[in-house]
Structure 1
Amino acid sequence: MRWLICITALILLAGCATPPRNVDNICEIFREKDGWYKDAQKASERWGSPIPTMMAIMHQESRFRAKAKPPRKYFLWIIPAGRVSDAYGYAQAKDATWDWYKSKSGRRGADRDDFDDAIDFVGWYNNQSARMCKINPADTYHLYLAYHEGHGGFNRRTFRDKAWLKRVAHKVSARSQNYTHQLAACREELERGGWFFGWF
C-alpha cells in the first residue's frame, strides 16, 4: 500500500510539471492545471498586473515549461559552451533578478520552477516596470519590452533598433488580448471552482 501511495504521488507530481496541452486558450489552461487560476488571481491582486498580461508573458518566455532553459552556446558550432544566459523556469528569470525578487517580495523560499512563485514574479516585475518605467499596468506591449530589456535598458530605449523584439512584443500583446476575451467567457466558472463543482 505504501508503494502504491508513493507511485501515485510521483505520477501526480510529474503531471504538475508538464505544460498545459493547449497553451493558446487560457480557459483550458486553468481548467487543466488545478490551482493555477487562484495563483494567478492572487498575484494579480497583489501586484496590480492583469492575469492575461502575466500569462501572455509567461507563454512567450517558456510556453509554461517548469524547467525551461535558454538554448546552448557552441564553440566552433559543435562544442557545448554553456547557455546564452542563466535564465530558468516558467518566467525565465535570471539568477540576479530572481534574488532581487526574493529579497524585495518577502518570498525567500521561492522557486523558479514553481508556477505559484513564477506568476508572482511576473506580476512583481510588471509592478516594478510600471513604477520605474512609467508604463501603464495594462500595456502588455511595453511591459514585455521592459521584461526583456530590463528597466535600465527600457529607459535607455535599447529596443528601438530591435525590430525582431518589437515584433515579439506585439505578438505577446495580441496574445494578452486573446486571453482577455477568453477569460471573460470562463471567469465565472473558474471563480466557482470549475465545471466539476458546477454539477453539485
Structure 2
Amino acid sequence: MNRLLKLAIVGLVASCGGGGGNYSAPRNLDNACLLVRERPAYMNAMRATERRWGVPVHVQMATIHQESKFIGDARTPHQYALGVIPIGRQSSAFGYSQALDGTWDEYVKETGNRRARRDNIRDATDFMGWYMHGTTNRLGISKWDAGGQYLAYHEGRSGFARGSHMNKPWLLRVAGNVSQRSAMYQAQLTNCR
C-alpha cells in the first residue's frame, strides 16, 4: 500500500506540471472578461504595463492575441529546404509577445531587467509597453491606436517609417483585425469591471 501511495503522489505532482508553467492558450480568447477570469495574472501584468508605459490593456490584449494567441512559449514555424529538410525557424520570435532576440536584448539592456523572460506574461507585457512607448515617442503613433502600433510592432519602427507595410495588403488586413479586436476587448472590459 505504501508503494501505491508513493506512485499516486508522484502522478499527482507530475500532472500539476511541476516544471515549466502553463503556456497553453486560455479557453476564451474572444471574451476578455472570461479570459482574465481564467488567467488573473494576465490582467495584473497588463495593468502594471499600462501604469508604467501608458499602453491600454485592450491594446496589449489584442496585440498578444495576434502574436501568440496567449501561448507563452509560442515560436514561429520551421522552414524547410526542398520541402523536407529542416533549416531552422522563420525568425527568433518567441513567447507571448513574439519578441525577436535582438529587440528583446535591447529591451533588457535599456530597462536593466536582466532576469526578464519572453515566456513570462509580466515580462512580455512590459516589453510590449516599452516597445509601444518608444513607437509613440519616435513615430507619433498613439498608444490607443492598436492597428498603427501593431504595424510598427510587426515591421519594426524603421520599416514602418519607410512605409514597408503599405505594400502588404495582408498585413493591413491583420492590423485592421487587431484594431477591431482591441475595440471589442475594450467594450468587454468596460462591462465586466
Shorter-chain TM-score above 0.5: yes
Distance 1:167 1:65 in 2: 22
Kindly state the Cα deviation for residue 39 of structure 1 after the two structures are TM-superposed: 1.0
Distance 2:85 2:49 in 1: 41
- Say which of 27, 41, 50 aligns to 2:33: 27
Instruction: Check 1:174–1:41 CA distance in 2 against 1; reply closer, same or farther (3 A cut).
Output: same
- Say which of 39, 43, 58 aligns to 1:37: 43
Q: Secondary structure at the match of 1:56?
A: helix
Please list every run of at least 4 consecutive aligned residues from structure 1 whose deviation after the TM superposition is greater than 3 angstroms. 1-10, 12-15
Equivalent pairs counted in the alignment come to: 187
Letter in 2 for 1:52: H
For residues 89-100 of structure 1, the aligned pairs below 5 Å read: 89-100=95-106
> Which residues of structure 2 form unaligned runs of 5+?
none
Letter in 2 for 1:110: A
Letter in 2 for 1:166: L
What percent of counterpart residues are identical? 42
| Root-mean-square deviation over aligned CA pairs | 2.0
- Say which of 123, 144, 155 aligns to 2:150: 144
Larger Rg: 2
Q: Secondary structure at the match of 2:107?
A: helix
Distance 2:53 2:66 in 1: 20
Q: Secondary structure at the match of 1:82?
A: strand
Kindly state the Cα deviation for residue 107 of structure 1 after the two structures are TM-superposed: 1.4
Answer whether contact 1:16 1:33 (CA < 8 A) is retained: no
Letter in 1 for 2:16: I
Task: Say whether residues 1:184 and 2:185 are aligned partners.
Answer: no
TM-score, normalisation: structure 2: 0.90
| Structure 1 match to 2:118 | 112
Answer whether contact 1:144 1:172 (CA < 8 A) is retained: yes
Letter in 1 for 2:112: G
- Say which of 28, 50, 58 aligns to 1:52: 58
Task: Say whether residues 1:68 and 2:74 are aligned partners.
Answer: yes
Task: Say whether residues 1:101 and 2:125 are aligned partners.
Answer: no
Distance 1:9 1:154 in 2: 46
Q: Secondary structure at the match of 1:73?
A: strand
Q: Deviations over 1:89-110 (max 9, x none)?
A: 1110000000111111221110
Task: Say whether residues 1:88 and 2:129 are aligned partners.
Answer: no
Kindly state the Cα deviation for residue 71 of structure 1 after the two structures are TM-superposed: 1.0
Kindly state the Cα deviation for residue 12 of structure 1 after the two structures are TM-superposed: 5.8
Q: Secondary structure at the match of 2:153?
A: helix
Instruction: Check 1:123–1:6 CA distance in 2 against 1; reply closer, same or farther (3 A cut).
Output: farther
> Which residues of structure 1 form unaligned runs of 5+?
188-200
Instruction: Check 1:106–1:159 CA distance in 2 against 1; reply closer, same or farther (3 A cut).
Output: same
Distance 2:140 2:48 in 1: 23
